[in-house]
Amino acid sequence: MEKFTASTFGELNAAEYDALHDPGTTQESVRLISELAGKGAILELAIGTGRIALPLAVAGHQVWGIDGSTHMVEKLRQKPGSETIDVRIGDFADVDFEEFVRHPGQEFLVVMQGAVTVHVEGREPVTLQQGDSIYFDSALGHLYASDGDNDARILVVCSAS
């Protein structure tokens, strides 16, 4: 097999993704994410066909997404309501949004594995390593992305106020 790239997964799976990847948990996942987000905006990494993002947008959330596969996003764009979602194609670490994500409340992020670069509006980007954390007013524009060759795992807690 050739090198596996950001678009390879979509090339191999886009046609059947929705049918094969809903083990009956989509509605519960959407309910939980919506509850946790409150009235806040949502950034979905690997937005794919919109299986999670579209119901969140219908529920009234502002949703942004990033995906490495044009094939997956083409499936998303065939669905009603997809025009309300701002989607970028590319590597999570390299995609620029026209605007930062903002929502009411406070945000706490801890890096469980790897490294993450956190961008908070009006401040210099900060790269956090495993065990590092950051806390900020989430009304300030912010974005974060995995930094380095390996995927990062993070835990994010957002308060509604």
Q: For the chain, 161 residues long, give each residue's pLDDT as a single digit of tens.
A: 467 776 787 888 888 888 877 767 788 888 888 888 887 788 888 899 999 999 999 999 889 888 888 999 999 999 999 999 989 887 766 656 666 788 788 888 898 889 999 998 888 889 999 999 999 888 888 988 888 878 888 888 887 66
Give the span between the Cα atoms of 51 and 42, in whole angstroms. 14
**What pLDDT score does 59 carry?**
92
> Which parts of the chain fold into alpha helices (H)?
8-13, 17-20, 26-37, 53-58, 70-77
Q: Among 149, 157, 109, 106, which Cα is nearest to 130's? A: 109
pLDDT at residue 95 in the model: 57
Supply the mean pLDDT for the chain. 84
What is the structure's pLDDT at 141? 87
The secondary structure of residue 95, as a DSSP letter, is P
pLDDT, position 2: 61
pLDDT of residue 64: 86
> Vertex 47, ends 9 and 156: CA angle to 5°?
115
Structure-derived torsion over alpha carbons of residues 40, 45, 48, 53, reported in degrees to the nearest 10: -10
pLDDT at 97: 60
To the question of pTM greater than 0.95 for the whole model, the response is no
Residue 17: the pLDDT is 84
Q: Which domains does the chain have, with CATH numbers?
A: 1-95 (3.40.50.150), 99-161 (2.60.120.10)
